[in-house]
Amino acid sequence: MYAFCTNDGGKLYSYVSTDDGHTFKRYDAGTYNNGDDTQSYPLLQVAPNGTVYALYVDSTDVGDGGIPNTNKIYLFTSTTQGKTWTKQDVTPVPGRYQYAWLAISPDGKKLGMGVYYRSNLDVPWLVAGTTWAPGAKPDPNQFRSIDPDHPIAPAERTEPPGDYSGSYFFPDGKLGVVWTRYHLWTDAATLTRDIFFARQN
C-alpha cells in the first residue's frame, strides 16, 4: 500500500506499507515550492509491473498572493516500491495548470492525464487531456482541450473548480476524463456547478 503527500512545508513524501496498512515507512520523494499557494494533492498510480507513479503540479513562477503565473507538471517514478524516486518534467505546453489527475492503462503501456489548463492569466480555464508512454514526455500536439467551447471557469477566477475532476483508462485503453464547470456564480459565491464526462475517440 502506498501514499504520496506533501508536508505543507516544501517536501514530498512516500509512505509504504507491507502489512495492509497496519504500519508505514516514510521515504523522501522530492521537494516543491511552498510559496505556491495553490498547492494540490499528488496523484498516485501503480503499474501492473509494480512501478509506482505520482503526479504533482508545482510552480517556480509565482505572482501576487502566491498565485502562479505558470506551472510545471512533474512525474515521480519509483521502481523500488516507493523507497527512491526519479523526477521528470511532463508539462505538455507552457501555461497555467491545476488539479492534474494521473491514470495508467490496464496494460501499463500508457499514462494519461486530465487537467485544468489555461495558456495565460487573461483567458478562461479549460479542461484538457493527453496520453503518453512511460519514460517519454507528452507530445504537445496531442495535448487537447476537451471542450473548448465551454470554459470551466472565467478568466477572472484565479483558480478552477476544486471538485470534482478525475481521469482513468477504460479496458480498451481509451482515456476518460470527468470535470466540473461553473454554471452560475456571483462575485461572492459559486451558486451551481455541472459535472461532465468525455471519452477519448
- C-alpha 81/C-alpha 8 separation (Å) is 24
CATH at residue 44:
2.120.10.10
Domain count, the chain: 1
In percent, the amount of the chain with pLDDT more than 90 equals 83
State the average pLDDT for the chain: 93
The answer to whether the beta carbons of residues 200 and 175 sit under 8 Å apart is yes
**Rounded CA gap, 165 and 99, in Å?**
8
Beta strands in 47-110 (DSSP E): 52-62, 68-78, 86-89, 96-104
Tens-place pLDDT, residues 58-74: 999 999 889 999 999 99
Residue with cell 500536439: 141
| pLDDT bracket for residue 163 (50, 70, 90) | confident
Residue 162 — very low, low, confident or very high, per pLDDT cuts 50/70/90? confident
- Kindly tell me if the per-residue pLDDT of 189 is higher than 60: no
User: Which DSSP symbol is given to 125?
Assistant: B
User: What are the pLDDT digits (tens) for 1-52?
Assistant: 999 999 999 999 999 999 999 999 999 999 999 999 988 888 999 999 999 9
With CA atoms as reference, report the closest residue to 145 among 85, 83, 93.
93
Which residue range(s) make up the domain with 12? 2-199
How many of the other CB atoms lie within 10 Å of CB of 53? 22
For the chain, how many residues are written? Answer: 201
